[in-house]
Amino acid sequence: MKLGMIGLGRMGANMAQRLMQGGHQLVGFDPKPEARKSLEDKGAESADSLAALVAKLSAPRIVWMMVPAGEITDSTLTNLLPLLAAGDIVIDGGNSNYKDTLRRAGTAAEKKIGYVDCGTSGGVWGLAEGYSMMVGGDENTVEQLRPIFETLAPAKDKGWGRVGPVGAGHFTKMIHNGVEYGMMQAYAEGFSILQHKKEFGLDLHQVAEIWRTGSVVRSWLLDLTADALGKNPSMAGIAPYVVDSGEGRWTVAEAIDLNVPAPIITQSLIERLRSRDSESFTDKLLSAMRNEFGGHEIKKE
């Protein structure tokens, strides 16, 4: 199929390339000329504006947005929708909040433009291994896009699926990331305990390698963890500072809204906040309180 790709960053460029490798025709747009040039070199057409991109597609047009969630998605869509016509389809492949997706799909629907949300997992490995995709949208609309998903996925009929109406794709991806937070934290805590048990002199990379084959905790994340531990067993030069990108927060908020206890996923997010709070007011006050009632010494800064 022929489709437009808006946003040629790491994720967008890789997805465009995988699509071309699968025989699709791509028109790419990105505000950065070098990003456009790079995709052209791989065989795509490029466009230096949304209007130019739309002009290079024929109805029904298919446009995949792979831009940062939030305001950029909104501004892109605001500029894009007037250029499209009834029957065209926009796919949001980014990490949008599903509530934003529901709102945007409503706006698109007013013009009878199809809207599909695709929660995409796979990171930098997706180009080679394929992407896991959780798709939301009308059955007919998603069906039209089948050749695209079959190419992007690790296998024709594996690693992707329409999980429900529009919004369901981003919702499912959000929860996927919540689970990811919990799994990462579980591994990291485990290796940290091993690392502190000095008398056994454990080799964390070796342990990870052993666990990768045959154990109950084997996983792709463990494969990556083994790789990281192999390259840098003592985590030298790495700050104990963990970023969160939004999906974890949304998962926590959603769990509470739904009255579902999700203590582990929630605490995994809180641990990331904690990693960035090196001057914890909480801890300082606790130290002051101990001094107040018990005369316990305060550690000076």
Q: Is 116 within 8 Å of 98 (Cβ atoms)?
A: no
Size of the site for a copy of itself (CB under 8 A): 135
Among 1, 51, 81, 179, binds a copy of itself (CB under 8 A): 179
175 near a copy of itself (CB under 8 A): yes
Give the binding range for a copy of itself (CB under 8 A) out of 20-28, 50-58, 78-86, 119-127: 119-127
> Does the annotation count 173 as an active-site position?
yes
Among 132, 141, 144, 151, binds a copy of itself (CB under 8 A): 132
Contacts of range 76-81, beta carbons closer than 8 Å, 24 or more positions apart? 76/6, 76/7, 76/50, 77/104, 77/107, 77/108, 79/50, 80/6, 80/50, 80/54, 81/107, 81/108, 81/111, 81/113
> Residue 68 and residue 93: Cα distance in Å, rounded?
10
Among 8, 108, 185, 247, binds a copy of itself (CB under 8 A): 185
Q: How far is CA 13 from CA 2, 117, 143, in A?
A: 16, 18, 24
Minimum CB distance to a copy of itself, residue 221 (Å): 7
139 near a copy of itself (CB under 8 A): no
67 near a copy of itself (CB under 8 A): no
**Residue 50, both tokens:** 């949304």
DSSP secondary structure of 181-212: HHHHHHHHHHHHHHHH-GGGT--HHHHHHHHH
Closest CB to a copy of itself among residues 58, 278:
278
Among 73, 137, 187, 247, binds a copy of itself (CB under 8 A): 187
Kindly name the residue from 56, 129, 150, 180 that is annotated as catalytic. Answer: 180
> Residue 161 and residue 21: Cα distance in Å, rounded?
21
> Residue 159 and residue 127: Cα distance in Å, rounded?
14
CA-only gyration radius of the chain, Å: 23
Query: Which residues inside 210-269 make contact with a copy of itself, applying CB under 8 A?
Result: 210-222, 224-225, 227-229, 232, 235, 237-243, 249, 251-256, 258-269
Minimum CB distance to a copy of itself, residue 15 (Å): 13
Give the binding range for a copy of itself (CB under 8 A) out of 46-54, 56-64, 74-82, 280-288: 280-288
Query: Which residues inside 154-173 make contact with a copy of itself, applying CB under 8 A?
Result: 154-155, 158-161, 163-165, 167-168, 171-172
Closest CB to a copy of itself among residues 146, 249:
249
Q: In three state form, how does the secondary structure of 60-72 look?
A: CCEEEECCCCCHH
Q: Is 166 helix (H, G, I), strand (E, B) or coil?
A: coil
Closest CB to a copy of itself among residues 75, 220:
220
138 near a copy of itself (CB under 8 A): no
Query: Which residues inside 28-47 make contact with a copy of itself, applying CB under 8 A?
Result: none
Closest CA to 31 of 76, 96, 69: 76
> Does the annotation count 180 as an active-site position?
yes
146 near a copy of itself (CB under 8 A): no
For the annotated catalytic residues, the residue numbers are 173, 180
